[in-house]
Amino acid sequence: MARRDAFVGRERQLDELLAHWRAASEGEGGFVVVSGEAGIGKTRLVEHLVAEVGRAAGVAWGTCVGPDAPPLWPWRAVLRDLPGDPGTVTAGPATAGAGDFADRAGDRARTYAVVVERLRLAAAARPLLVVLDDLHWADPDSLSLLRLAAGEVRRAPVLVVGTLRPDEAAAASDVRAALSELASSTEVVHLDGLPVDAVARLVGELIGREARPEVAAAVVRRTGGNPFFVRELMRLLVAEGGVDAVMSGGPLEVPPRVRDVLLRRVSQLSASTRSVL
């Protein structure tokens, strides 16, 4: 099987992110959304951006985990990753630490100001890359803070990168409203399925031998070039000893984990749409 860092077909998008990072490093901060369907490689692309910027950057990573998470959950993780003392930060006359998040509406402005100030302080030492993974699951408070931070970082060496599934974002009214408000100041890097040549390279790395163009084309027809689907398909074939059959033109089955993803997406549709499907 391939190493976890196998990375094909996203060189152009990585170059785009690196260009945004260079601009941020020079003081022109910004907000970039990496957009694409589940399994298309958004998080992996951002991981490679982090690896490329290396020690030249401070990196803070937060992940949105859904409606059951506490308010501002991804930003709490971001604060824990920031350099310096995570316990106390001065914001006007008050101090607050990474865990000091009040839920009352009257305290939100102070809380947001504390986070933005922490971002500025961290960026004063070296340029800062902030990752907000799975923004389609962000809570309302995290989105409000993102709207504020995205505007403030334009005057600092900070690049905020969010990953997003557009179909799930469109179904979440809070996320849709926040992205609409930020649209004029947001750069978007969209990921589609991998082309046949990239799938051939990926399949070759996954099975340890060269994949013929016609085999790669069959995999693309079956998976849409979605890297997660390609990997799961190859894992299934390797586990069940079906690689040789597929390489000889045999049928391609749907792997269980891919089936789970598809069923979850179907479950989000209306009852009438599911009946038609």
**Residue 249: is its pLDDT beyond 60?**
no
Q: Which residues of 86-95 are buried (b: 16+ CB within 10 A; e: fewer)?
A: eeebebeeee
Angle between helices 73-81 and 105-125 (to 10 degrees): 30
Decide: helix, strand or coil at residue 20. helix
Predicted local confidence at residue 33, as pLDDT: 98
Average pLDDT over the chain, rounded to an integer: 84
For the beta carbon of residue 189, count every other beta carbon within 10 angstroms: 22
Question: Is 70 exceeded by the pLDDT of residue 101?
Answer: no
Which tens digits make up the pLDDT trace of 193-220? 999 999 999 998 888 888 888 888 888 9
Amino acid 124: pLDDT: 93
Q: What percent of the chain has pLDDT over 90?
A: 56
Q: Label the pairing between strands 128-133 and 58-63.
A: parallel
268 Ramachandran zone, left/alpha/beta (phi>0; psi -120 to 50): alpha
pLDDT at 3 over 60: no
What's residue 89's pLDDT? 34
Give bridge partners of residue 95 from the DSSP assignment: 90
Mean pLDDT of all residues in 96-117: 69
Which tokens hold the place of 124?
């004063």
Which whole number is the average pLDDT over 163-183? 93
Q: How far, in Å, CA of 160 to CA of 60, rounded?
A: 10
Of residues 277 and 131, the one with the higher pLDDT is 131
pLDDT at position 247: 56
Contacts of 126 (CB under 8 A, 6+ apart): 56, 57, 58, 157
- What pLDDT digit, counting tens, does each position of 45-76 carry? 999 999 999 888 999 999 999 878 899 999 99
Q: How much is the pLDDT for 255?
A: 60
Residue 210 has a pLDDT of 84
- In this predicted structure, which of 101-105, 131-135, 231-235, 239-243 has the lowest mean pLDDT? 101-105
**Spatial separation of the C-alpha atoms in residues 144 and 70, rounded to whole Å:** 15
Phi, then psi, of 216 in degrees rounded to 5: -60, -40
Which comes out higher in pLDDT, residue 147 or 155? Answer: 147
Q: pLDDT band at 250, cuts 50/70/90?
A: low
**Which pTM value belongs to this model?**
0.81
Q: β-strands 94-96, 89-91: how paired?
A: antiparallel
Asked if residue 103 has pLDDT above 50, the reply is no
